Amino acid sequence: MKNISLNIDKALGTVTKEQVYAQAEKANECNATLQNGNGAGNDFLGWLHLPSSITDAELTDIENTANVLRSKCEVVVAIGIGGSYLGTKAVVEALNNSFDWLHTDRKNPVLVYAGHNIGEDYLYELCEILKGKQFGLINISKSGTTTEPALAFRMLKKQLEDAVGKEEAKHRIVAITDAKRGALRTLADQEGYKTFIIPDNVGGRFSVLTPVGLLPIAVAGISIRDLVAGAVSMEKATDVSVPFAENMAEIYAATRNELYKSGKKVEILANFHPKLHYIAEWWKQLYGESEGKDGKGIFPASVDLTTDLHSMGQWIQDGERTIFETVISVEEPTHKVLVPTDEANLDGLNFLAGKRVDEVNKMAELGTQLAHVDGGVPNLKITMPEVSPYYIGQLFYFFERACGISGYMLGVNPFDQPGVEAYKKNMFALLNKPGYEKESEAIRARL
Ligand SMILES: O=P(O)(O)OC[C@H]1O[C@H](O)[C@H](O)[C@@H](O)[C@@H]1O
């Protein structure tokens, strides 16, 4: 099997290949720090060898649980936010049919999401659409206390129990959370839900290959074994023993840090494949939450191309030269569509007749790369042979490993997220949460 690959040739100009390769030793040292577990945040390194440590029995347990939900439910609601949502969303959107929800001859339940916002209309419309439908719930929260999913679960649990009774509801609810701590663990144990554990040493944004992602992804009918196999292959390909020049995670980390040092403050992850939109949303949390610290860090942004060439193309071509692009390029689409001939040719497109639509897309991709590089936007290119569970698994692990290396090269702890607590404290104070009396008084004084 081929691997995904990284090409930095079009990123060189702002930084030289020599500058990038001069970072080889540091990148390898940072990779070794991950491997040896002696760096900052080293109690959150469970993701590093997670793929190769997943057992057949664990995968079978997940598949069996998914099959129970698949047999009982027309709709399964995956409840979670951040790392407890984005990995699943990214994989399912990448691998499901683009119009899955319109398919009536279904082999899989419709997977919908909740707990990833505090949208009153969203929750209302979800509860309404679930009325009269056979549905199940997967409640995912590592801490077990995050407000958004807890709020959604409180509402959906009641609706499910009202619809099918408490006893049956128990068999349609799965909780994925901490082994011992948190409100969700307490609730799940009291109610007798099937539970899966999120390992203590795997942070939320690195948890897609734990049951956090694997269970809902299996419910969607996607092969979690192929997903994990791809991640295992990339775990090997980015190991500290792999020399820098062949280690795409180290090269990516070194290149982006050199570009950052040269003044490129924003990285735009771009795709020319519509199904990869949510891969970028997952990637933004992974890199934003890992590197945005101590007043430092590349800002992770994303665009879908060619779609956003008609909205953001002007800025990328002519705006402030503080950006670089990392483009995910898919070699082969899954399907084949040819451009038809049109006798009248009023649209003037007969010059494309007989060509594959993807040939047009590939020339747009090449033309865009040349234009942006000419405009002073360094371009890195990640090539995926195809969009499949295996290569999505490779991509996830590649980005995770590179993120750990890059964060250490930047000089931050890539595995904590202290900044996320600030809004929560204010929100609880404004909502008069018990125990926040002093904070409530203080915050009202400043309004
Ligand atoms: O899985 P949970 O504990 O509910 O956390 C969900 C998310 O919220 C936290 O505030 C962090 O920002 C994320 O890293 C995490 O993935």
- pLDDT tens for 93-141 read 999 999 999 999 999 999 999 999 999 999 999 999 999 999 999 999 9
Write out the catalytic residue numbers: 289, 424
Query: Please, which pLDDT band fits residue 303 given cuts at 50, 70 and 90?
Result: very high
Q: Taking a C-beta distance cutoff of 8 angstroms, is the pair 11, 326 a contact?
A: no
Residue 406 CB–ligand 1 contact under 6 Å: no
- Distance, in Å, from the CA atom of 396 to the CA atom of 391, rounded to the nearest integer, reads 9
Whether 135 and 110 have beta carbons less than 8 Å apart is answered as no
Q: In what order do the strands lie in the sheet with 173-177?
A: 110-114, 75-79, 135-141, 173-177, 194-197
Could you tell me if 389 and 222 are in contact, meaning their C-beta atoms sit under 8 angstroms apart?
yes
Residue 86 in contact with ligand 1 by CB distance below 6 A? no
Region 345-362 average pLDDT: 98
Taking CA atoms only, the protein residue closest to ligand 1 atom 13 is 82
Cβ atoms 199, 44 nearer than 8 A: no
Q: Which residues contact 403 (CB under 8 A, 6 or more apart)?
A: 253, 286, 287, 290, 291, 414
**β-pairing, 299-304 with 379-384?**
unpaired
Q: What's the token pair of residue 19? A: 């500058």
C-beta of 393 in contact with ligand 1 (< 6 A): no
**289 CB less than 6 Å from ligand 1?**
yes
CA of 82 to the centre of ligand 1 (A): 5
Residue 420: CB within 6 Å of ligand 1? yes
Residues 99, 200: Cα–Cα separation, whole Å = 37
Whether the predicted pLDDT of 346 surpasses 90: yes
Ligand 1 pocket: which of 417, 424, 427 to mutate (most atoms <8 Å of CB)?
Answer: 417
Q: Which of 248, 261, 287 is nearest to 381 (CA)?
A: 248
Mean pLDDT of 374-394: 98
Mean pLDDT in the chain?
97
CB of 407 within 6 A of ligand 1: the answer is: no
pLDDT value, residue 13: 84
pLDDT at 271: 98
Q: Is the pLDDT of residue 413 over 90?
A: yes
Q: Give the predicted TM-score (pTM) of the model.
A: 0.98
Question: Which spans in 192-276 are helix H?
Answer: 211-219, 224-237, 248-261
Whole-number Å distance between alpha carbons of 238 and 240: 6
Q: What is the pLDDT of residue 14?
A: 87
Distance 299 CA to ligand 1 centre (A): 19
Residue 31 near ligand 1, beta carbon < 6 Å: no
pLDDT at 228 over 90: yes
Buried b (16+ CB within 10 A) or exposed e, 352-377: beeeeebeebbeebeebbeebbeeeb
Question: Pairing mode, if any, of strands 379-384 and 323-330?
Answer: parallel
How many whole angstroms from 240 Cα to the centroid of ligand 1? 29
* C-alpha 164 – ligand 1 centre gap (Å): 30
Nearest atom in ligand 1 to 204's CA: 16
- Which residues 6+ apart lie within 8 Å of 60 measured at CB? none
